[in-house]
């Protein structure tokens, strides 16, 4: 059995070229000039946002959760929504107004919330238990594991405030280990949509399948990558653009960063594939193995390098049968806690911007 040559990304030097990253988008004030058309050929089947490379609209995945639940509440009479007194933060307060009889605030008690959600699921309800990622997967991990997943309870745990992009609240509230601790629980489906539109689709898809689902969502507004036309299927990775030189495999808001990096690489005649892993588990092994044929894989996530998407990809490639071992570079948060600060500055500080992805590819390709 051959091992994938995996290496953690070290600190990279500053690039001379400025980048169209989420960080720079957020700090922008007022309208800016239309940028040059990218050489990047997006996969047309994906119907991505047309203004992706110019001035994409911004919205948060937590807003996607809130909007989707309101819509879903009308369609699915068994849908119930629970919060551990974070309704305004997880954006489920709209549901509380439209469907008050199916909304439960259990107080600041996440463990109890997941237990209650399991009991409701056993009685035929489709509960969405919402809180922050750190509480859903840290404080209430045993409830998630034993009471929900072991029994295959049809509970959807929708966790917002994942990643350092939580911003000013700091390390206690920035969920950077949630993928690591949920990936090891059997029966659990893990979704990590890349933007507002995809979150809405993920919420609908999660309600449709039977069994426990963990939804990883963020707090800040991020650029819209997908549209309502973009297909979504649990378990199927999305190839957003194709290139034979490298493959950037990203999840969550890092998908936008990956596309921006690919665009800049294209200007330097490096053609990169960009893959959106919106389903962390079950992960699309075929798509990853196909991407590995490029010989260089960059994983990008707003999560600890240890145990997250990068690890999941490395697990897939661990028994690579081919002669040419693909090289994997992991862009993600190093083995440290988060900290307070504006989201865009934190992304830079923790080296999880498009620039870091760009540099990682460039270093391997140009040495």
Partner 1 sequence: MERHDISELKEDAKLIRADIIRMVEASGSGHPGGSLSSADIMATLFFNEMRHDPKNPEWPDRDRFILSKGHCTPVLYATLARAGYIPKEEIYTFRKLKSRLQGHPGKEELPLLEASTGSLGQGLSVSVGMALAAKLDKRPISVYCLMGDGEQQEGMVWEAAMSASHFKLDNLCAIVDVNKMQLSGTTEQVMNIEPLAKKYKAFGWRVIRVNGHRIKSLLWAFRFFKWCRGWNKPVVILADTIKGKGVGFMEGRVEWHGQAPNKQEALLALKDILGDTGG
- The verdict on 236 binding partner 1 (CB under 8 A) reads no
**Residue from 13, 31, 100, 124 that binds partner 1 (CB under 8 A)?**
124
Least CB distance to partner 1 at residue 126 (A) = 11
The alpha-carbon radius of gyration of the chain (Å, integer) is 20
**Residue from 9, 62, 99, 125 that binds partner 1 (CB under 8 A)?**
125
229 is catalytic: no
- The verdict on 337 binding partner 1 (CB under 8 A) reads no
**Residue from 46, 72, 118, 246 that binds partner 1 (CB under 8 A)?**
118
Phi, psi of 299 (to 5 degrees): -100, 145
The conformational region for residue 120 under phi > 0 = left, psi -120 to 50 = alpha, else beta, is alpha
- Tracing tokens 């690489």 back to the chain, one arrives at 265
- The verdict on 109 binding partner 1 (CB under 8 A) reads yes
CA distance 336 to 338: 7
- The verdict on 116 binding partner 1 (CB under 8 A) reads yes
- The verdict on 194 binding partner 1 (CB under 8 A) reads no
Q: Measure Cα distances from 276 to 110, 225, 332 in Å.
A: 30, 10, 15
- The verdict on 112 binding partner 1 (CB under 8 A) reads yes
Q: Which of residues 144-173 bind partner 1 (CB under 8 A)?
A: 146-147, 150-152
Is residue 241 within 8 Å of 225, Cβ to Cβ? Answer: no
Q: Which is nearer to partner 1, 157 or 314 (CB)?
A: 157
Q: Measure Cα distances from 220 to 116, 269, 352 in Å.
A: 29, 33, 15
CA distance 180 to 306: 7
Out of 110, 242, 253, 355, pick the active-site residue: 110
Convert residues 85-104 into a mask of x (bound to partner 1 by CB under 8 A) and - (unbound): ----------------xx-x
> Residue 20's CB: how many other CB atoms inside 10 A?
24
Residues annotated as part of the active site: 110
| Binding interface with partner 1 (CB under 8 A) | 80, 101-102, 104, 106-107, 109, 111-112, 114-125, 127, 142-143, 146-147, 150-152
């Amino acid at each position: 059995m051959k091992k994938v040559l995996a290496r953690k990304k070290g600190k990279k030097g500053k690039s001379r070229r400025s980048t169209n990253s989420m960080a720079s988008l957020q700090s922008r004030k007022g309208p800016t000039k239309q940028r040059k058309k990218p050489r990047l050929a997006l996969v047309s089947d994906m119907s991505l946002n047309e203004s992706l490379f110019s001035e994409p609209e911004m919205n948060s995945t937590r807003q996607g959760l809130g909007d989707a639940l309101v819509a879903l509440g009308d369609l699915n009479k068994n849908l119930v929504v629970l919060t551990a007194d974070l309704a305004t933060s997880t954006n489920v307060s709209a549901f509380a107004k439209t469907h008050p009889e199916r909304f439960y605030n259990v107080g600041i008690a996440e463990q109890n919330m997941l237990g209650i959600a399991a009991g409701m699921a056993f009685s035929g309800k489709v509960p969405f238990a919402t809180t922050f990622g750190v509480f859903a997967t840290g404080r209430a991990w045993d409830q998630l594991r034993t009471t929900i997943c072991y029994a295959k309870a049809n509970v959807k745990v929708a966790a917002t405030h994942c990643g350092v992009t939580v911003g000013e609240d700091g390390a206690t509230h920035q969920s950077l280990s949630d993928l690591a601790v949920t990936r090891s629980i059997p029966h659990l489906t893990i979704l990590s949509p890349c933007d507002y539109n995809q979150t809405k689709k993920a919420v609908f898809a999660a309600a449709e399948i039977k069994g426990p689902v963990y939804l990883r969502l963020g707090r800040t507004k991020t650029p819209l990558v997908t549209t309502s036309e973009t297909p979504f299927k649990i378990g199927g990775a999305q190839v957003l653009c194709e290139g034979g030189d490298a493959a950037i495999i990203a999840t969550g808001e890092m998908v936008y960063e990956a596309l921006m990096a690919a665009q800049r690489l294209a200007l330097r005649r490096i053609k990169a594939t960009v893959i959106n892993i919106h389903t962390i588990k079950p992960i699309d092994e075929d798509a990853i193995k196909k991407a590995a044929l490029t010989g260089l894989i960059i994983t990008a996530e707003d999560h600890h390098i240890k145990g997250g998407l990068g690890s999941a990809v490395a697990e897939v490639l661990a028994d690579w049968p081919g002669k040419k071992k693909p090289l994997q570079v992991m862009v993600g948060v190093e083995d440290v806690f988060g900290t307070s600060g504006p989201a865009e500055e934190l992304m830079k500080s923790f080296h999880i911007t498009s620039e870091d992805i760009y540099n990682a590819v460039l270093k391997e390709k140009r040495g």
